[in-house]
Structure 1
Amino acid sequence: MSSYNILFYLYLSLVLLLLLLFAFFVSVQLKIVLLYVFNFSQASNVFNQTMNFSDVSYECLFNFHLHISDYFLCISLSEFYLKSSDVLFDKIMIYVSLGLIYSQLSCWHIAEYYYLQSLSLSPRNKQINVALAILYSKLGYTEKSQYFYDAISLLDRTLD
């Protein structure tokens, strides 16, 4: 009888130890979540006070998220900056960036849309023509890719 009591108390102490260990890890995770929420609220307050989203901050954030292959944040950041910027050069840069991201995600038709948007704003841009030629080559549209390769050679001749 006493051996059963010892086993029961041993079982209770083991369960209590496991519950304490579990409570420790839950409290650590809860602390981390609360710190993230606090940091996010402070960052949003600072952003709302300054409302300053510069080209440099966009490029730094975009390159950081592109480097770690976080394409969703790159797309979100680019769309946000596209809505907040009225500068033509910035829009061309953002459209090219969005085309690049969607190309890397193999969403070829969406990439084509953004490259064509940038091409409509800057038809003599060699980088955009090259991107479209490569895109159409990957899609197997030989006539369209040849058209853009011809446009690139024409741009090269006019620039010389």
Structure 2
Amino acid sequence: MSAYWDLKHQLADAVNAHDLPRVLACYSPDAVYVSPPGVAEGLEQIAWLHKQVLVGFPDFHMTAWFELGDCENPAVTEWTYTGTHTGPFLLPDGREIAGTGRRITVRATCTTHVANAKITSHREYYDQLELYSQLGFGLVELDRVPA
């Protein structure tokens, strides 16, 4: 594998070790991180998004089960995320939910673009409904718009 994959593996190892300084060392200062909870631009915002996951799921772990071997830049990986929701977790609408004690197993994929030996763009995708259902939340009826 190439230096692109080496960097992606370093990032995964740092996330699994919950080592935020090592996570941030993988990114360029102006990197963009796109995920279901939102878009983070720059190291400060990227750190904040990673911290939200690690606080909400103190045993969070990513397991790669497929890497697109003939594609280097972007490096594409499919994952399984696991963890126990014991800490506060911020929802996209700004509400925070207390730990539920529930275990999660969520399928995910991501693409990582690299330039000058740093991640410049990281796009992560997972099904939020799958996550929220495992946390004990279901679909709710949307507010009706008056006719």
The TM-score by the shorter chain falls in which range?
under 0.3
Which of 1 and 2 has higher RCO (CA within 8 Å, sep 6+)?
Answer: 2
Higher strand share: 2
Higher helix share: 1
Which structure's CA Rg is the greater one? 1
TM-score (norm 2): 0.26
